[in-house]
Structure 1
Amino acid sequence: MMMVSRKIVSSLQFFTLFYLFTAAFASTEEATALLKWKATFKNQNNSFLASWTPSSNACKDWYGVVCFNGRVNTLNITNASVIGTLYAFPFSSLPFLENLNLSNNNISGTIPPEIGNLTNLVYLDLNTNQISGTIPPQIGSLAKLQIIRIFNNHLNGFIPEEIGYLRSLTKLSLGINFLSGSIPASLGNMTNLSFLFLNENQLSGSIPEEIGYLSSLTELHLGNNSLNGSIPASLGNLNKLSSLYLYNNQLSDSIPEEIGYLSSLTNLYLGTNSLNGLIPASFGNMRNLQALFLNDNNLIGEIPSFVCNLTSLELLYMPRNNLKGKVPQCLGNISDLQVLSMSSNSFSGELPSSISNLTSLQILDFGRNNLEGAIPQCFGNISSLQVFDMQNNKLSGTLPTNFSIGCSLISLNLHGNELADEIPRSLDNCKKLQVLDLGDNQLNDAFPMWLGTLPELRVLRLTSNKLHGPIRLSGAEIMFPDLRIIDLSRNAFLQDLPTSLFEHLKGMRTVDKTMEEPSYHRYYDDSVVVVTKGLELEIVRILSLYTVIDLSSNKFEGHIPSVLGDLIAIRILNVSHNALQGYIPSSLGSLSILESLDLWFNQLSGEIPQQLASLTFLEFLNLSHNYLQGCIPQGPQFCTFESNSYEGNDGLRGYPVSKGCGKDPVSETNYTVSALEDQESNSKFFNDFWKAALMGYGSGLCIGISIIYFLISTGNLRWLARIIEELEHKIIMQRRKKQRGQRNYRRRNNRF
């Protein structure tokens, strides 16, 4: 009995030693293969992989390597600053690899077909690299794969049909690539799939009906492609679906009623397609819905009352459709609503006061509709409100006067209504205000200098109102410190231009390209219309783009302040249609990025400063209908302006008004010198000719008489005529050459 037990113990020891030996041998082979791959990296001094050395234990010491039973089971070197390719990766030497994570590196090149050798692979993550080429169909042979994440690369070509054979797959993420072609119908075989992300590619064709067979699907993201056709009704079978993203495609027809039966849905994004028809009544069943995006389609009808049953809604986004009717009063019952955007539709009637009950509301946008009546005063009490946009409606009455302390407003746009009376002083409580557009109303007030205390105000647009009086600053040391756009045009402001205001515009003294986007920029873009280059231009996301001063069409008088030249960030300067006098300040030549300068219809005199010729970005110039005189400066941009930029200034000379400028000494001197040289040349030619003739007179007299006698006696005078003709031709050609040189010189002067 003792002998048997000893034999058993010895056998166990042998097998244990044999196992440890083979395991150590196997991991050594795997380690060698991994080191060969590492040797191909472009950054051999990678600190993350410094532990990868032949003398260390791969299973215990190497960064990102995990072994099981002595064999490499997991390779996770995400965010390890690897710069290399997969061409030398040991696909054949890692038969027990289950988890491969190479994400967030700088791996380029293609995915080799040898990846099909990793037959035990369960998790594959190559996201956020520089991988290009096509997806090898050999991936379809990795039957144990549960997760594929290759998003945010440069993959192209078709999605292999073979991927649809991976029945164990739960997550497939191929978004943010350049994949093309149609979505394979075979994907409908992956019944365990819970996440399907194919967004931001170049996929075309229709959405396969088979996608509706993926009964385990919880998130479907096909947005930002070129998919067309109808939304398949089969998607209504996905009763576990929580997020459906089909936005920014070319989908058409009506929204299937079946979508409304997805009772688990929390996010529905169907915006930026060509969907038409009514909003399905079945949408009232989606009680868990938090975000509903139907923007930029061709939907018609009214807002259905059942929308008010969606009490979990936080984002209701339907701008740019053909919706009409009145705004439902019951919207005020959706207590968690944060974004309510219905702009660019045809809503009519009054704005319901119940919206003021939405204490979480951050964006309220009903701009570009047909709403009328007064703005409810209680709207000033929505302390959470960041964006209030009612531009281009038919609202009347006064602005809300009760903006409270702690007001969160960042953007207030009431442009293009019929609002009257004064600008409410309570706006002074909105210390975060960046954009204030009250233009094109009937406001009757003096310039609201108290707005200058708002530290973040960047856009002030009060154009086309009944504002009046002089613009005078208060005694505050800091006023309008961050202002970038000020438009006071088409009012009745008078007296001198506000020099003291210009001196305070600190935000225009530097060219700032680093301004942050507002927190709401995902759901709302600030926009403003400016007059530039003689045309109205709508600028979107204005806060970091344009710097504008527009004081045109008022009653300002006096001089243009030279301090304007210190505001070097200005792109558009318009003080036209006033009664300004005096000279154009030469300091405007310091506005190096100025694109549009409009000074027409004033009483400006003197010469155009030569310094303006250095404005290389200047695309539009209008100095017409003033009293300017002298020579028009010549420079790279000035040669592009036509005569209408200067019309109504009878004293101006030079290109393009006239051919020459009398005060151009260089041009006149060169013309005179050229003429003298021409005369001199002709005189010299004739002198040389007669000298030669006289020198030969004595010796050739007899010969000459004999020749003449011979010619006369024979009647052959053609030889003498030919000599005279050649002499005449030579004189004419010399004169033409000089005249051509003069014309070319004048053209060069006019061009510059």
Structure 2
Amino acid sequence: MLPPNISSLSNLVAFYIGGNALTGTLPSSLFSIPSLLYVTLEGNQLNGTLDFGNVSSSSKLMQLLLGNNNFVGSIPRSISKLVNLDTLDLSHLNTQGLALDLSILWNLKSLVELDISDLNTTTTFDLNAILSSFKSLKSLNLSGNHVTYEKRSSVPDPPLLSDLYLSGCGITTEFPGFIRTQHNMWRLDISNNKIKGQVPGWLWELSTLQYLDLSNNTFVSFESPEKLLQPSSLFYFSGANNNFTGGIPSFICELHSLIILDLSSNRFNGSFPRCVGKFSSSVLEALNLRDNCLSGRLPKIISRGLKSLDIGHNKLVGKLPRSLIANSFLEVLNVESNRFNDTFPSWLSSLPELQVLVLRSNAFHGPVHQTRFSKLRIIDISHNRFNGTLPSDFFVNWTAMHSIGDQSNGNYMSTAYYFDSMVLMNKGVEMELVRILYIYTALDFSENEFEGVIPSSIGLLKELLVLNLSGNAFTGHIPSSVGNLSSLESLDLSRNKLTGEIPQELGNLSYLAYMNFSHNQLVGLVPGGTQFRTQPCSSFKDNPGLYGPSLNQACVDIHGKTSQPSELSKEEEEDGQEEVISWIAAAIGFIPGIAFGFTMGYIVVSYKPEWFINRFGRTKRRRISPTRR
């Protein structure tokens, strides 16, 4: 919390406390300090309304950074007195849907950086008006607000911007033409709009452009540049989630400074761009071409500096190029949902940094030989034709999943300005990991043809959050070592040929929120624990030998309320005994003494009328399972 008597620091020039977890309100007395030049409070949890008090028009304040807090309400009109401001950040001010009068900012003629993004206002910002009012602007961020731009009423002599952020502004026009004059532009983000038509060829002539994000619009094509300046300074380019068609433009491969290239979720077709091999000696670290219509084979050489390669959801065929073994920095390899026909690429284990391997939904086949993946944290080889058995020590060398790490570090797999993402089956549904945590661990071998026993060494993978072995032909018992997976949240062993009991140790897995043991041949007592009692009955379906309080509670709709089975059964048995005795007594009157002794023994041991079986037989058979004798 900020001290309320902060104005007593009468000679204060700079007040920097950004990026902490400070709470409370902002004391207006702060702005009465005549010597104050710089205030940096962004990235805290300060709340309340903004109040600058009786700020003087002679204020010397040059920098005011209040963004990314929890302030509510409107922008104080007194801000117009801060005429010496060159940097202003009011981002994420929650105006609670109020209309804003931006004219109160027009007095701030010295502004060089202005960030008024995500204000939660109904006001529509006129981009032309803003550009006309601030001739000294270098950086402008209007993201997350509604912005209009009139191409016909272009701004004469607009400011020369270095950074322009218009993400999520509802812009529906074609590409903003005034950008063509921005020869000092470094970063341009016009993502998450509805900008249509072509990406103009002149865009690639902006020699200073380093960061370009065109993602999530409705662009349909690239206009070929008349000239492509060399060397290009562009290091980040995303055209993801548009309507681009045809082949990937050849000029893309001339952008030799690219670190990040993301053209995912379009309709690009044709072969994988061979020119990507030209990046082999460059700095390209992340290449994302997933969810397109690319066909043919992968080139033998793909940029050797890659940390992330995602080509999932295309129509690529053939084998994985063995040359990938030269990509010693590769951390993420995702080739899911293609038509690759190959054996398990055990040679990838020689990649020292590989942490994510996704081969899902291809035509990979054959056995999966034991190998060493020392840093692997996520592996998905589901929906292929892998077969054979897994030796008991199969997971011994998968050491990155062995120990419980510090789950509070919040680190992400990423490279500059880019975060890897993927879709993973978790808790029975597809879950998108928009940012892959270093600590996130998952193993999915489902929908293959594996057989034999589940390796006992799986219990070494103590970091596992998701384990899916469903849809195979695994036999034998569930290894009790699964009980060592103390972080496990999702377990799916359904549709196998597993026998024996569910290990009681699984009842101690306190994070296990989802489990599926259905369609096996399991028997015995279902483990206790809240997590087992809260599962749907379908999690245990087609295992007729399972029983116990947990199953009774999970399947209460089918089996009836049996949480107190002893009392209910006693009542039924007593009623049944009375009726049987009455039936026997009636027979006694017609049978001689000696014959009665023999006949009664026969009746009691061997004969049960149909009504008796219907009423008591099923309950008794369930209660006298051979495993409980």
TM range (shorter): 0.7 to 0.9
Contact 2:413 2:437 in 1 (8 A): no
Q: How does 1:415-454 map to 2 (within 5 A)?
A: 415-454=312-351
1:182 and 2:74 aligned: yes
Aligned residue identity for 2:357 = L
Shift of 1:269: 1.3
Report the equivalent of 2:378: 485
CA shift in 2, pair 1:307/1:636, >3 Å: same
Pick which of 192-201 and 358-367 moved more.
192-201
CA shift in 2, pair 1:329/1:606, >3 Å: farther
Larger RCO (CA under 8 A, 6+ residues apart) = 2
Q: Gapped runs of 5+ residues in structure 2?
A: 578-622, 624-629
Alpha-carbon distance between aligned partners in 1 of 2:346 and 2:167, rounded to the nearest angstrom:
42
Report the equivalent of 2:41: 151
Shift of 1:385: 0.8
CA shift in 2, pair 1:260/1:644, >3 Å: farther
> Quick one: which of 156, 163, 170 aligns to 2:62?
170
Report the equivalent of 1:288: 184
Report the equivalent of 1:502: 395
Aligned residue identity for 2:28 = P
Q: How does 1:71-470 map to 2 (within 5 A)?
A: 108-111=2-5, 118=10, 123-125=13-15, 127-128=17-18, 130=22, 132-136=24-28, 139=31, 145=35, 147-152=37-42, 154=46, 156-160=48-52, 162-163=54-55, 165-166=57-58, 168-188=60-80, 190-203=82-95, 205-206=99-100, 208-232=102-126, 233-237=128-132, 238-247=134-143, 249-254=144-149, 258=154, 261-326=157-222, 328=224, 333=229, 335-382=232-279, 383-403=282-302, 407-470=304-367
CA shift in 2, pair 1:229/1:557, >3 Å: same
Contact 1:261 1:282 in 2 (8 A): no
Alpha-carbon distance between aligned partners in 2 of 1:156 and 1:344, rounded to the nearest angstrom:
38
Contact 2:125 2:145 in 1 (8 A): no
Alpha-carbon distance between aligned partners in 2 of 1:542 and 1:131, rounded to the nearest angstrom:
30
Alpha-carbon distance between aligned partners in 2 of 1:613 and 1:169, rounded to the nearest angstrom:
62
CA shift in 2, pair 1:325/1:263, >3 Å: same
Shift of 1:187: 3.7
Contact 2:413 2:419 in 1 (8 A): no
Contact 1:111 1:133 in 2 (8 A): no
Residue 292 of structure 1 aligns to a residue in which SS?
strand
Contact 2:414 2:420 in 1 (8 A): no
Q: TM-score normalized by structure 1?
A: 0.68
Aligned residue identity for 2:503 = P
Q: Gapped runs of 5+ residues in structure 1?
A: 1-106, 680-745, 747-752
CA shift in 2, pair 1:364/1:292, >3 Å: same
Contact 1:269 1:293 in 2 (8 A): yes
Residue 109 of structure 1 aligns to a residue in which SS?
coil
CA shift in 2, pair 1:533/1:178, >3 Å: closer
Contact 1:337 1:358 in 2 (8 A): yes
Aligned residue identity for 1:123 = V
Aligned residue identity for 1:458 = Q
Aligned length: 555
Shift of 1:619: 1.7
Aligned residue identity for 1:524 = Y
Alpha-carbon distance between aligned partners in 1 of 2:513 and 2:223, rounded to the nearest angstrom:
45
Residue 564 of structure 1 aligns to a residue in which SS?
helix
Q: How does 1:540-619 map to 2 (within 5 A)?
A: 540-619=434-513
Q: Which has the larger radius of gyration?
A: 1
Residue 538 of structure 1 aligns to a residue in which SS?
strand
Alpha-carbon distance between aligned partners in 2 of 1:308 and 1:593, rounded to the nearest angstrom:
49
Report the equivalent of 1:648: 542
Alpha-carbon distance between aligned partners in 1 of 2:156 and 2:316, rounded to the nearest angstrom:
41
Shift of 1:508: 0.8
Contact 2:285 2:307 in 1 (8 A): yes
> Quick one: which of 509, 512, 520 aligns to 2:415?
520
Aligned residue identity for 1:411 = S
Alpha-carbon distance between aligned partners in 2 of 1:184 and 1:162, rounded to the nearest angstrom:
11
Residue 420 of structure 1 aligns to a residue in which SS?
strand
CA shift in 2, pair 1:150/1:171, >3 Å: closer
Residue 199 of structure 2 aligns to a residue in which SS?
coil
Aligned residue identity for 1:251 = H
Q: Deviation string for 1:241-277 (max 9, x for gaps)?
A: 1111222x33243477657953421111122333332
Contact 1:610 1:633 in 2 (8 A): yes
Pick which of 326-335 and 214-223 moved more.
326-335
Alpha-carbon distance between aligned partners in 2 of 1:254 and 1:498, rounded to the nearest angstrom:
64
Contact 2:413 2:420 in 1 (8 A): no
Alpha-carbon distance between aligned partners in 2 of 1:236 and 1:550, rounded to the nearest angstrom:
53
Report the equivalent of 2:620: none
Residue 589 of structure 1 aligns to a residue in which SS?
helix
Alpha-carbon distance between aligned partners in 2 of 1:540 and 1:342, rounded to the nearest angstrom:
17
Alpha-carbon distance between aligned partners in 2 of 1:215 and 1:667, rounded to the nearest angstrom:
80
Shift of 1:646: 1.8
Shift of 1:305: 2.5
CA shift in 2, pair 1:571/1:150, >3 Å: closer
